Chains A and B, each alone.
Chain A
Amino acid sequence: MLEFDELYKAYGPNRVLEGVSFRVRPGSMFGFCGSNGAGKTTTMRIAMGLARADAGEVRWQGRPLDQAVRRRIGYMPEERGLYPKMKVGEQVAYFARLHGLDRAAARRAADEWVEVLGLGPRRGDAVEKLSLGNQQRVQLAAALVSRPEVLILDEPFSGLDPIGVDSLAEALLGQVRQGVPVVFSSHQLDLVERLCDSVGILARGRMVATGTVDELRQREAGQLLRVVVPDAAPGWASGLPGVRVVSEQAGDTVLELKADTDDQAVLAAALTTGRVAHFAWQQPTLVELFREAVAATTPQEVAA
Chain B
Amino acid sequence: MSAPQDVGSAAMVRLVAGRELSARLRDKNFIISSVFILVLLLGTLGLQVVLNSGSEETRVGLVGEAPGLEEALAAQGQALGVDVVVSRLDDEAAARTAIEDGEVDGVLVADGGQGPELLVEQSADGSLQAVVQGAVGQVAVAEQLAAAGVTGLDVPEVTVTALDPDADRDGQRVVVAIIGTGLLYGLLILFGQFVAQGVVEEKSSRVVELLLSSMKPWQLLAGKILGLGLLGLAQIVVIAVVGVAGALAFDLVDIPGELIGTAVSVVLWFVLAYALYASIFAVAASLVSRQEDLGTVIMPTTLVLVAGFIVGIQAAANPDGTLAVVTSFIPGLSPLVMPVRQAAGEVAAWEVGLAVVLAAVAVALVVRVGGRVYAASLLRTGGKTKLREALRAERV
**A52 B394 Cβ-Cβ under 8 A:** yes
- Residues of chain A lying within 8 A (CB to CB) of residue B209: 50, 77, 79, 81
Cβ of B330 under 8 Å from chain A: no
Min CB–CB distance B224 → chain A (angstroms): 12
Instruction: Name which residue of chain B comes closest to A127, CB basis.
Output: B205
Cβ of B111 under 8 Å from chain A: no
**B23 A142 Cβ-Cβ under 8 A:** no
Interface SS of B by simple majority: loop
Known: A68-B6, A79-B381. A142 touches B213 (CB 8 A): no
**B4 A79 Cβ-Cβ under 8 A:** no
Bound complex: CA A94 to CA B18 (Å) = 10
Quick one: which of B5, B208, B213 contacts A100, CB cutoff 8 A? B5
- Size class of the A contact interface (CB-based, 8 Å): 35 or more
> Can you spell out 30 A-B residue pairs with CB atoms less than 8 angstroms apart?
A49-B212, A50-B209, A52-B396, A67-B215, A67-B216, A70-B214, A71-B4, A71-B214, A77-B206, A77-B209, A77-B210, A77-B213, A81-B205, A81-B207, A81-B208, A85-B23, A94-B19, A97-B15, A98-B7, A98-B214, A98-B215, A99-B214, A100-B5, A100-B6, A100-B7, A101-B4, A105-B2, A142-B210, A147-B1, A147-B3
**A48 B213 Cβ-Cβ under 8 A:** yes
Give A residues with C-beta under 8 Å from B. Answer: 48-52, 67-68, 70-73, 75, 77, 79-86, 94-95, 97-102, 105, 108-109, 142, 146-147
Bound complex: CA A102 to CA B395 (Å) = 30
Per the CB 8 Å criterion, the residue count for chain B at the interface is 30
Instruction: Name which residue of chain A comes closest to B213, CB basis.
Output: A48
Known: A84-B201, A102-B2. 5 other contacts (CB 8 A): A49-B212, A81-B205, A94-B15, A105-B2, A109-B1
Instruction: Name which residue of chain A comes closest to B396, CB basis.
Output: A52
Known: A50-B396, A71-B214. A102 touches B5 (CB 8 A): yes
A-B pair number, CB within 8 angstroms = 87
Min CB–CB distance B16 → chain A (angstroms): 8
Min CB–CB distance B15 → chain A (angstroms): 6
Cβ of B86 under 8 Å from chain A: no
**A81 B206 Cβ-Cβ under 8 A:** yes
**A86 B23 Cβ-Cβ under 8 A:** yes
Bound complex: CA A52 to CA B379 (Å) = 12
Known: A95-B210, A98-B211, A98-B215. A146 touches B4 (CB 8 A): yes
Bound complex: CA A77 to CA B208 (Å) = 10
- Residues of chain B lying within 8 A (CB to CB) of residue A97: 15
Cβ of B12 under 8 Å from chain A: yes
- Residues of chain A lying within 8 A (CB to CB) of residue B12: 98
Min CB–CB distance A69 → chain B (angstroms): 10
Bound complex: CA A227 to CA B262 (Å) = 95
Which residues B372-396 have CB closer than 8 A to chain A?
379, 381, 394-396
- Residues of chain A lying within 8 A (CB to CB) of residue B214: 67, 70-71, 95, 98-99
